[in-house]
């Protein structure tokens, strides 16, 4: 008798003509009810797909990541159908699931605004009530082109497909070019909400037509949807763009240019504290800091391979006679040039260069977003030149730095994504043997460190594989922060050599390493992680001194001098506001401590301390308060803290 293999290793008999839904029903009615799609030999398929003898079979439910992906994909189709019904003549392009939901890019026949979203949602609910069966249809490329003869976007997609059958999914009068799989019917969709509208260029190219992108979210249940929307509201309140303005940290100006952030005094202090902390940790671990400027001869990037593989992200060249210069988009070629400026033997290795360098990347205007995607960015970059035998030890050292830094910033929940090359892609430097060695070296280093990781094809740098650290913030959102990359290719292209024990010249291995990535992006993450209420060691202003009346200003200045003399970052609020308003304003600025001083405090040489986030008040001597803050900073930064309240 024919049978399929279940995930627990057991075999389940099947009958001729059985489909995935029949097997799910045989396993159990409840599982059949919760099923969204199935897996046959690891591939997602519709529940209507036929099953065959010997296949590995697994039911995918709506509460699994893959099931949720399918649910969102099917909801995107329901939204597209609603658009076509409400705006006849609209042209569909692509509508994929994304983290948190889905979107669809559409050339709308008419005008759609955020005010129209409830109307579209209502039509989607009607489509759900119709409980339209969703089924797959295989057609030839010619038939698909005939279906979409009036849609140039779909025609372009069809013509990019390889020869063979093309799949179309239908639900009622609606059909869409799609690989699938999908839920069985529109009645199987869960809870959803349309969120906002944006513009998007076709295929992300600003030379192409601008389309209407409609974003939505979908969840298995109404309860999960409401929970997600609450998280979104919390995220909105933490938006670094809003808080950056409210807390006087940074600004943008069209006079300077899109994607170029300008940092106000408090923002610059925050940058300084962030960079100084990483510099301190790196120095402790044997890194030397260098500086390599902002402009680089274009020929260097031709040698390294960046000009061929990365030119789209570079600003155009600047000519000086026959020489072309580029604004520096990355540090590694410059650091390899530094390495080549001196002769090295195996005794010198490893050599660890670190730099807080401002880099320039020509991001598309539509992709710029606050501090998370900018054109002028500062990277906490480092490059380690070592022997192949030293890779594991240097990886462990870099890992220790990453753990120490992320832990201090209160990021403790993170995973590692092993980003590997896609052998079929042409975006990577071609050198099979070196790629294999690099990937094996990185896998071995991760295994030796006992770190679980998820391999992902196609995410490597063009010159080598990398381990990306994906950390979750307090809202559970995941950010790619730290990275360690293994490079067997670039050092040889740039002529990096050292003399080995055998007296012969050898090419070093290069490890690329960033702890927090870029200062700008990491600052955005921190602002949202802490909702602007930075820990005391990181706060640009640690204490605001509020005089009760103007006659207490002189004493307030004295307190400021004494605390600043101990290394605290303090400021006196000498505005014309009343005392109560000063207290409220400084609380809105999320200052860790507000120190109120009046007659009583002046007579006692003390301050009235009001910690952030509490109504508690207490009076302390100036010196006692200074010791309190210093102890708090030392506890937060551990062994990295010096005698000052943040190393400044």
* Per-residue model confidence as pLDDT tens digits over 340-352: 999 999 999 999 9
Identify the pLDDT of residue 640. Answer: 44
CATH, range 3-61: 3.10.20.30
pLDDT in tens, 179-206: 999 999 999 999 999 999 999 999 888 8
pLDDT in tens, 90-113: 999 999 999 889 999 999 999 999
Predicted pLDDT of residue 646: 52
Query: Residue 642 — pLDDT band, cuts 50, 70, 90?
Result: very low
With a CB cutoff of 8 Å and minimum separation 6, the contacts of 65 are: none
Region of poorest pLDDT, from 118-122, 343-347, 426-430, 614-618: 426-430
Q: Among this protein's residues, is 512 annotated catalytic? A: yes
Average pLDDT over residues 624-647: 75
- Catalytic choice (123, 271, 335, 361): 361
Rounded Cα gap, residues 62 and 131, in angstroms: 17
* 3 state DSSP class of 177: strand
The residue from 326, 421, 466, 506 that is catalytic is 466
Sequence-ordered list of residues with C-beta below 8 angstroms from that of 245, at least 6 positions apart, any chain:
251
- Answer yes or no: are the C-beta atoms of 505 and 497 closer than 8 Å: yes
466 catalytic? Reply is yes
What local confidence, expressed as pLDDT, does residue 364 receive?
A: 86
User: What letters, b where the CB count within 10 A reaches 16 and e where it falls short, cover 565-601?
Assistant: ebbbbbbbbeeeeeeeebbebbeebbbbbbbbbbeeb
Decide if pLDDT at 644 tops 50: no
What CA–CA distance (Å, rounded) separates 537 from 59? Answer: 50
Higher pLDDT, 432 or 289: 289
Q: Could you say which of 48, 116, 381, 468 is catalytic?
A: 381
Q: The pTM is what? A: 0.78
Contacts of 242 (CB under 8 A, 6+ apart): none
Topology, domain 251-530? BirA Bifunctional Protein; domain 2 (3.30.930)
Average pLDDT over the chain, rounded to whole?
92
List the alpha helices (DSSP H) in 502-611: 519-530, 553-565, 579-588, 599-604
| Number of other CB atoms surrounding residue 113 within 10 Å | 8
Catalytic residue, from 81, 379, 390, 490: name it: 379
**Residue 99: per-residue pLDDT:** 85
Reported as a single tens digit per residue, the pLDDT across 481-526 is 899 888 888 999 999 999 999 999 999 999 999 999 899 999 999 9
The CATH number of 543-640 is 3.40.50.800
Q: What is the pLDDT of residues 555-569, one digit of tens each?
A: 999 999 999 999 999
Which one of the listed residues 39, 105, 193, 332 is annotated catalytic? 332
Q: Are 608 and 601 in contact (CB under 8 A)?
A: yes
Identify the active-site residue in 91, 434, 512, 569: 512
**Domain residue ranges in the chain:** 3-61, 66-237, 251-530, 543-640
Task: For residue 433, name the pLDDT band (cuts at 50, 70, 90).
Answer: confident
How many CA atoms, within 13 angstroms, populate the side-chain half-sphere of residue 259? 16
* The domain defined by 66-237 carries CATH number 3.40.50.2300: no
Describe the crossing of helices 265-284 and 391-408 by its angle, rounded to 10 degrees. 140
Identify the band that residue 647 occupies on the pLDDT scale cut at 50, 70 and 90: very low
Q: Please give the pLDDT value at position 427.
A: 74
> 3-state class of 343 per DSSP?
coil
Assign 264 to helix, strand or coil: coil
348 counts as catalytic: no
Residue of 182, 188, 266, 383 marked active site: 383
Supply the pLDDT for residue 130. Answer: 97
pLDDT score at 598: 96
Residue 435 pLDDT grade (very low, low, confident, very high; cuts 50, 70, 90): confident
Residue 383 known to be catalytic: yes
Would residue 195 show up in a list of annotated catalytic residues for this protein?
no
pLDDT score recorded for residue 66: 95
Instruction: Check whether 428 has a pLDDT greater than 90.
Output: no
Q: With a cut of 50, say whether residue 641 has pLDDT above it.
A: no
- Annotation marks residue 123 as catalytic: no
Instruction: Grade residue 309 by pLDDT with cuts at 50, 70 and 90.
Output: confident
pLDDT of residue 458: 81
């Amino acid at each position: 008798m024919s049978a399929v293999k279940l995930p627990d290793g057991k075999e389940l008999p099947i009958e001729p003509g059985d489909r995935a839904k029949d097997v799910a029903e045989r396993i159990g009615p409840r599982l059949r009810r919760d099923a969204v799609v199935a897996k046959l030999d690891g591939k997602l398929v519709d529940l209507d797909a036929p099953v065959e003898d010997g296949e590995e079979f697994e039911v995918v439910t709506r509460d699994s990541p893959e099931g949720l992906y399918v649910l969102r994909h099917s909801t995107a189709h329901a939204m597209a159908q609603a658009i076509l019904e409400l705006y006849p003549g609209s042209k569909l392009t692509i509508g994929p699931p994304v983290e948190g939901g889905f979107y669809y890019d559409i050339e709308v026949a008419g005008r759609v605004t955020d005010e129209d979203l409830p109307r579209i949602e209502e039509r989607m609910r009607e489509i759900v009530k119709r409980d339209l069966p969703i089924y797959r249809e295989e057609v030839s490329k010619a038939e698909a082109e005939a279906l979409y003869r009036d849609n140039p976007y779909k025609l372009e997609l069809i013509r990019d497909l390889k020869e063979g059958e093309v799949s179309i999914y239908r639900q009622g009068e609606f059909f869409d070019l799609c690989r699938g799989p999908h839920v069985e019917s529109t009645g199987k969709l869960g809870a959803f909400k349309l969120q906002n509208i944006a513009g998007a260029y076709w295929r992300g190219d600003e030379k192409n037509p601008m389309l209407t992108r409609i974003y939505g979210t979908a969840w298995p249940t109404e309860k999960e949807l409401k929970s997600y929307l609450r998280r979104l509201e919390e995220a909105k309140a933490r938006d670094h763009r809003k808080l950056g303005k409210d807390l006087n940290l940074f600004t943008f100006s069209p006079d300077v240019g899109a994607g170029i952030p300008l940092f106000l005094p408090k923002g610059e202090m925050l940058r300084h504290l962030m960079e100084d902390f990483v510099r301190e940790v790196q120095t402790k671990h044997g890194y030397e800091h260098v500086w390599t400027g902002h402009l680089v001869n274009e020929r260097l990037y031709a040698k390294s391979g960046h000009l061929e593989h990365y030119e789209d992200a570079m600003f155009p060249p600047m000519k000086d006679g026959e020489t072309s210069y580029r604004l520096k988009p990355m540090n590694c070629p410059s650091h390899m040039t530094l390495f080549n400026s001196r002769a090295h033997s195996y005794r010198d290795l490893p050599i660890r260069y670190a730099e807080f360098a401002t880099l320039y990347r020509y991001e598309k205007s539509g992709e710029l977003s606050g501090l998370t995607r900018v054109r002028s960015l500062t990277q906490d970059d480092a490059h380690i030149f070592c022997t192949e035998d030293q890779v594991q030890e240097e990886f462990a050292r870099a890992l220790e730095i990453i753990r120490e830094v992320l832990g201090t910033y209160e990021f403790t929940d993170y995973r590692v994504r092993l980003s590997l090359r896609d052998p079929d892609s042409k975006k990577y430097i071609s050198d099979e043997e070196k790629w294999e060695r690099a990937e094996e070296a990185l896998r071995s280093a991760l295994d030796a460190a006992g770190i679980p990781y998820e391999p992902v094809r196609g995410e490597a740098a063009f010159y080598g594989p990398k381990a990306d650290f994906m950390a979750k913030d307090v809202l559970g959102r995941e950010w790619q922060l730290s990275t360690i990359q293994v490079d067997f290719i670039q050092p040889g292209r740039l002529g990096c050599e050292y003399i080995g024990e055998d007296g012969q010249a050898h090419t070093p291995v290069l490890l690329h390493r960033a702890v927090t990535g870029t200062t700008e992006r990491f600052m955005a993450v921190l602002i949202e992680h802490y909702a602007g209420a930075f820990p005391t060691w990181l706060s640009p202003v640690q204490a605001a001194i509020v005089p009760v009346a103007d006659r207490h200003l002189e004493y307030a200045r004295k307190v400021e001098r004494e605390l600043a003399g101990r290394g605290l970052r303090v400021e006196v609020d000498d505005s014309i506001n009343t005392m109560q308003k000063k207290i409220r304003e400084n609380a809105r600025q999320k200052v860790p401590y507000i120190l109120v001083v009046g007659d009583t405090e002046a007579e006692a040489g003390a301050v009235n301390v009001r910690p952030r986030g509490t109504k508690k008040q207490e009076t302390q001597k100036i010196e006692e308060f200074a010791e309190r803050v210093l102890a708090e900073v030392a506890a937060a930064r551990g062994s990295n803290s010096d005698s000052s309240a943040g190393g400044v």
